Chains A and B, each alone.
Chain A
Amino acid sequence: MISNKTTYLFFLMLAALLSACTEKNSKKLPIIGEREAVEKLVDGKTVVDTVYHQIPNFTFLNQDSTLITDKDFESKVYVANFFFTHCPSICPTMQRNLLKVYEKYKGNEKVAFLSHSIDFKYDSPSVLKSYATKLGVDNAQWQFVTGSKKDIYGIAEKYLVYTKEDAAAPGGYDHQGYLVLIDQQKRIRGAYDGTNDEQVAQLFTDLEILLRESL
């Protein structure tokens, strides 16, 4: 009787251990944003599919004065954020932290970075170029882009990041310091406060999970 109990306990523990392992390996990141169920016809049958929130197509001018589009980020995982070069408040800390992520994945073609300037008046490509170089970015993996107010502020909404031209804010623009993690299907998989060390550490962890997810 006792040995039966022990055996039972042993298997229970083994099962718990195994399930714990599988759970860890198959960990996935959530898909963020609104979603809707659509019915479509597949092989003559009606099936219900979920359509997730996606980053729409975009075209922006980068630090080398060339136009880049969403095609440049195709089949890549990327981190997007919103900043401006003479931002006196949260940007330096946010960019300092994103620089650590950039340095870790430098040379990895599956990972890219995209910083949008919300100061469409001052941050011309040459200003962005000088900023990128001084920050320590010396390859095309991290793009710094500018665009019209409508385009930049419009896409910020799609990344679920608040941006606003506000004379009362330090530097003239108010915005959130989120580092937004985008997957290969242009879906938002995480958003991390770029000024919070714990959340930045989480970004490092989640980026690994996302890269493994797509293997």
Chain B
Amino acid sequence: MRNAILCTFAIGGIISAIALSCQPNVSIQTAQYAVNGQKLYQSHCQNCHGAKGEGLGALYPPLTDTTYQRENRRQLACIVKYGLDEPVEIHGKTYDGTMPGVPQLSNIEIAYILTYVTTTFGASTNSFTQEEVQADLKSCN
């Protein structure tokens, strides 16, 4: 009888371990935002930054610098919406081209894109929220 109980626990443990390992380490909302963000990324960003966020030579920077993303998280919404007109250092290399912004994007769309980029190419597990984007956009240069 004791063995049977142990066995049940063991099997239950294995099943839940398998079930848990299948779960991504991000919340449902983050996953949803990332899926929506992927479509927007493809139409607004992928041409230059590439399907894997790899960038292109020294022309367009990759979007895989997790340190940059963490340190500049509050500026990312401004860059997507209004572009970037100053040199930027990514993975220790300087990129000095001008990035055009996409001013027609809504706050929620920017949240989708940033969630996709920072969780797929970067190491972030948090989504950007609409409110966060709205607050960040108030302090653009």
Contact = CB atoms under 8 A, between A and B. Distances in A.
B47 A90 contact: yes
Nearest to B98: A86
Interface residues of B, number: 12
B47 A95 contact: no
Contacts of B46: 93
B62 interface: no
Interface of B is mostly: loop
B57 A136 contact: yes
B47 A131 contact: no
Contacts of B50: 96
A86 B98 CA distance: 9
Interface residues of A, number: 15
Contacts of A131: 59
Interface of A is mostly: helix
Most A CB atoms within 10 A — which of B50, B56, B98?
B56
A99 B50 CA distance: 13
Nearest to B95: A134
A95 B50 CA distance: 12
Contact of B57 (A90, A91, A93, A134): A134
Contact of B56 (A86, A89, A92, A133): A92
Interface of B: 46-48, 50, 56-60, 97-98, 100
12 contacts: A88-B47, A88-B100, A89-B47, A90-B47, A91-B47, A92-B47, A93-B46, A93-B47, A99-B57, A133-B58, A134-B58, A136-B58
